[in-house]
Amino acid sequence: MKILTKELKPGIMVLELSGPLQMGVECKQLELAFDQLIRDSHTRVIVDLSQVTKLDSGGLGKLVNCFSRLKTAGGALRLAGVTGMIDGILKLTHADHFLKSYPTAREAAESFSDSSHSTTN
């Protein structure tokens, strides 16, 4: 699996994943990428799954773990590009109830201005 990290908007990081996200090396890669983001105080993160070819229980577990770590750090995780098999897995496991997904990373980024890091609430 390849992970490309970029800043879509100030303070909003995108991890573009490509290839399989499954138990083992790929999960460790994602964990290390999140370790770096959290160390660098990036807590608004979008994981773009549009190029992910496979998601197993280990990969789903790692996404949930990353969601939890960001929430604990005062941040939020959004998913982008969720389609087909991955969408089915999220719905089947009810992970879609707390892992918010959007068609594109740009739309996911727009959602942060609505709920995260708001000083008026």
Domain 2-111 CATH class label: alpha beta
pTM (whole model) above 0.85:
yes
Q: Where would I find the H helices in 1-121?
A: 25-39, 57-72, 84-92, 105-115
Tens digit of pLDDT at every position of the chain (121 positions) = 999 999 999 999 999 999 999 999 999 999 999 999 999 999 999 999 999 999 999 999 999 999 999 999 999 999 999 999 999 999 999 999 999 999 999 999 999 875 444 333 3
Domain boundaries of the chain, sorted by first residue: 2-111
Spatial separation of the C-alpha atoms in residues 42 and 86, rounded to whole Å: 25
Which residue, 70, 68, 81, 53, is CA-closest to 112? 70
62-81 pLDDT, tens digit per residue, is 999 999 999 999 999 999 99
The answer to whether the CB of 3 falls within 8 A of the CB of 16 is yes
Residue type at 99? Answer: L
